[in-house]
Chain A
Amino acid sequence: MGTTSTSTLTPLTFTGLSPYASDFQSILTRAVDIAQLPITQLQNETSDISSQEQLATAIQTATASLATTLTNLNELGTNQSLTGSSSNPSLVQVNNSSLAAPASFTISNITSLASTASFSTTNGYANATTAPVSTTGTMQLVINGTAVTPNIDLTASGANNLNGLASAINALNAGVTATVINTGTGATPYYLSISANTSGLNNIQLVDDPTGADKQVALSGTAGGNASFQLDGQTVTSASNTITTAIPGMTFTLVGTTTSSTQTVTLSAASNPAQISTVLQTFVSQYNSLQTLLNAQIGTNAGLLLGNSMISGVQQALHGLMNFNGGGSSGVQSLEDLGIEMADNTGVMSFNQTTFNALTSSQIQSAYSFLGSSTGFGTLAGTLTAYSDPVNGSIAGQETQWQTETTNLNNQINTLVDQANQMQSTLDAKLQAADSLIMQLQTQQQQLTAEVQSLNFTSYGYASTNTGTFNPGTSSSSSGS
């Protein structure tokens, strides 16, 4: 009889031979159930916390999304939903606009676009590793007529070659990048290419032996250039084609030159109410999603967050949104004025595009004020981020508490696992001892049985089988343990 196996878990059944077997079975089952009580409790607690965290994370995400949309509405109201546009995007493109009021600008005479300087040595070299590039090992980089310090030192062993020169130039961090190029043709296919890292005026020169012969290395290529154009009649030059400072609050990019002095491009920032309409639709959708999540934690079929203060808090914040009033006496004063309607019984929000489209210009202006003023609707984002902020929000605080509880539960579980492992070892030893004892006793019983049969045969001429040898069948009973 070997050591019992623990790899499989079969339902606990006792196949005892005695008439007490069924009673014994019920006692065993009850004992196992009782033993499992703390574990079941731990399991339930851990599972509950995990589920609560998942629910809270979903609510946190939905709340954060709604807060972001409110912030967007606030920004749209503040900048009156101004959108930048160009009358000719093939010449000028508007990157972004944060102008506070509608405006228009005229771009003309785009005579040049900003370009990047790029040169290469006129003469080639036989290779990049041994062919010397300097007579003395000292060279100098000159950019826009100004010598870059320090001088280029190629006096170290193995440095006076194209590779060494390229590395030394790049190490100067002078705003240019040197690269060795191989044309693959002729006896001297290797050249040094030097390019400016940014556009604008950049003339590049290379001087050999600057403190002695001071001889310029022949370079061929093109110098960089500035962009030149007129903004509302004023000439502007820029090293970059992306113009960020000419119009405060608007960034645009020059992508082509004008073909005549009369060709103009108009950049404008104009109000675009459709943007508000789009964001309001998003708001309604996110509001309903969040409301659905909250409703699942309220009422008779509520989830695990029933009674949790975060639910009532976020619910209250939503009521605040729904009932927000601008405080004025005319114009847009509520969400209803913007076309947002609330179903009476279900609490589901909807957006009436027709109502929104019917708003007059003055009502649209009123809507900007309703959404974007310092006390406007969009500022209610703060009441939501108080819950949804991933660090300081109250939902995050609740999750931290759950994490602490989970840690404590895991510590309890680890302790129980250690105890169970120790008990396992003890029980294994006990089972081995029991198997050995039972086997010895079985052997003795077999010896006595044989002797009784022998004596009966001697006395009566037959071997009585009425010896009642008990076979507990320990081999089979151990298979499941």
Chain B
Amino acid sequence: MTAEIQELIQSLSHTTACLARAERAAPGDIARALTERARAIDALLLRLAANPEDARTGGEELAGQLARELETGRHILLRLTLAREVTRSERMALDRELQVLNGIRGLGAKPPVALSCRG
């Protein structure tokens, strides 16, 4: 595996680690980490596309390292999906609450009492 490829793999590992740390932060931080990782992946894939011999010489080791990045990414994806499920459930609970609130709003409303004939 060439030094350039090793450098690109390290860059990918670094951005994946950053993404893992950022996943519990604000969506903006996750988005930035995702952008960095996308750049690292693009750079690696461009290099491999431009230099096919790099894949042939260190292919097994490279595939192993990419598989580890892939696995880490899969865990992050799972956690992001779980977080999204929590948000979705909160949204559904809100819908239900709103429906109940609108249903009971004005339930006790009653027209004014009649005037007394006795004045």
Binding site for B on A (CB under 8 A): 4, 6, 9-10, 12, 14, 16-18, 24, 28, 31-32, 35-36, 39-40, 42-43, 46-47, 49-50, 53, 385, 389-392, 396, 399-400, 402-403, 405-406, 409-410, 413-414, 416-417, 420-421, 423-424, 427-428, 430-431, 433-438, 440-445, 447-449, 451-452, 454-456, 458-459, 464, 466-470, 472, 474, 477-478, 480-481
Contacts and interface: CB of A to CB of B under 8 A. Distances in A.
B34 A437 contact: yes
A91 B34 CA distance: 106
A427 B91 contact: yes
A49 B74 contact: no
18 contacts: A9-B99, A389-B116, A390-B116, A416-B101, A417-B105, A427-B87, A427-B94, A434-B87, A448-B41, A449-B70, A455-B55, A455-B60, A455-B66, A466-B67, A470-B78, A472-B77, A472-B80, A481-B91
A440 B85 contact: no
What 10 A-B pairs come out closest when comparing CB atoms? A406-B108, A472-B81, A455-B63, A481-B88, A470-B74, A391-B116, A434-B84, A433-B27, A459-B59, A32-B93
Contacts of B27: 430, 433-434, 437
A440 B34 contact: yes
B113 to A, nearest CB: 5
A28 B44 CA distance: 41
Contacts of A12: 89, 92-93
Interface string B8-42: 00000000000100000001001100100110010
A414 B104 CA distance: 10
B70 A469 contact: yes
Contacts of A452: 63, 66-67, 70
B76 to A, nearest CB: 7
Contacts of B82: 16, 18, 24
Given A35-B97, A414-B105, A481-B92, 5 more contacts: A4-B88, A42-B101, A392-B116, A434-B80, A448-B70
A177 to B, nearest CB: 35
A42 B82 CA distance: 32
A445 B77 contact: yes
A459 B90 CA distance: 48
Contacts of B102: 417
A39 B95 contact: no
Interface of B: 19, 27, 30-31, 34, 37-38, 41, 44-45, 48, 55-56, 59-60, 62-63, 66-67, 69-71, 73-74, 76-78, 80-110, 113-116, 118
A90 B85 CA distance: 89
Given A390-B115, A434-B80, A413 B101 contact: yes
Given A434-B84, A438-B81, A448-B66, A420 B101 contact: yes
A428 B94 CA distance: 11
Given A35-B97, A406-B109, A420-B98, A413 B90 contact: no
A49 B104 CA distance: 11
For B48, B55, B101, the residue with the greatest tally of chain A CB atoms inside 10 Å of its CB is B101
A147 B103 CA distance: 71
A399 B112 CA distance: 10
Nearest to B37: A444
Nearest to B118: A389
A62 B11 CA distance: 85
B102 to A, nearest CB: 7
B75 to A, nearest CB: 8
A447 B73 CA distance: 12
B97 A36 contact: yes
A257 B104 CA distance: 68
Contact of B114 (A9, A28, A390): A390
Contacts of B101: 39, 42, 413, 416-417, 420
B94 A16 contact: no
A468 B44 CA distance: 20
B94 A474 contact: no
A477 to B, nearest CB: 6
A403 B110 contact: yes
B40 to A, nearest CB: 9
Nearest to B81: A472
